[in-house]
Amino acid sequence: MSRSLCKSVTLLSRHLLLKRITHPLVYNNKRHAGVLSSVAETIGNTPLVDLSRLTKSYNLEGRILAKLEYFNPGFSKKDRIAKQIVEDAIAEGKLTPGDTVVELTSGNTGTGLAIVCAVNNLKFVAVMSKGNSEERARMMHALGAEVILVPQLSESIVGQVSGGDLQEVEKVCQQIVEEREAFRADQFQLMGNFKAHYDNTGPEIWNQTNGNFDCFVDFVGSGGTYAGCAAYFQDISEGRIHNFIVEPEGAAVLAEKYENKQFKTSAHSIQGGGYSMDDLVFIDKALPATYGYISVNDTDAKTTARALAREEGIFGGFSGGANVFAAIKLLENEEYKGKTIVAVVCDSGLKYLSTDLWQSP
């Protein structure tokens, strides 16, 4: 094949790739027009908000755009993967009405699954560590889920779920799946997690900004949101977007593994991730799209979440605070001064009223 013909084929392939991944979605403020058949149809198309007041108060040059995932019916980004995983299983004949779905959760995936299972006539069993906030367990129970709480390890701290605690939850989860012959909605393994964000969240952000942003940051739990969005941005921007993984300062195992950085391991209170797991399937898949890693400590995550509420009226959780703080750190860096950073506000602050994130009046 001649060099010119080879170049033409390469350009055609790239054009077809972009045509395939560019969605027809045109975002508008009327999120869901008309009458919907179930609340599950309200999942997605969440707003993107310019944090102009926050950047001004921090005296920053540049923009931070917050993707407000608490606009989903279960108040978190995990509703997206719950919908995708269940719909995939139904389409593949793995689930029929009356069947039982089981999954481990810190509360957000479980809430999403409780909602999606309810509207599809499925039973749902959530298996969760007692170290997570009680609001999450109550919400899942209210939505019809059976909630099984697993004791933390003796050395663990309530409100700080460790990788060891999660392993205990995994053991109980596997046992229940076997005993009840249930479907495991495995958020750490099933490609519906990645697909939900590659096919939806990423394209939403791209269309909302017309592709006019420079960096994307997200706090990693299962890694699906980060990986799906990062891979999409890598494909459609041809590598122009810089994607950053956000981790707790005391559990920055991905930075240790892939950048050979050394961190002092310690407990942290940023619920929903930072489980010291360095073998995440979706992160491995997104490595070519990953530009760097940012670690955030508890104090900075909490302080930023409170600033978001006070200055922007955005009531997010720990991880949203961590993501926005990561964006602030980037804008404070000379390389990214004046740039536009997209950060995910993963869930609602309502899920943490019993924690030290919020103080009594």
**Which amino acids are annotated catalytic?**
78, 319
Instruction: Say if residue 258 is exposed, middle or buried (CB neighbours under 10 Å; 0-12, 13-18, 19+).
Output: middle
Distance CA 62, CA 64 (A): 7
Distance CA 286, CA 231 (A): 6
Distance CA 200, CA 4 (A): 36
Distance CA 151, CA 142 (A): 21
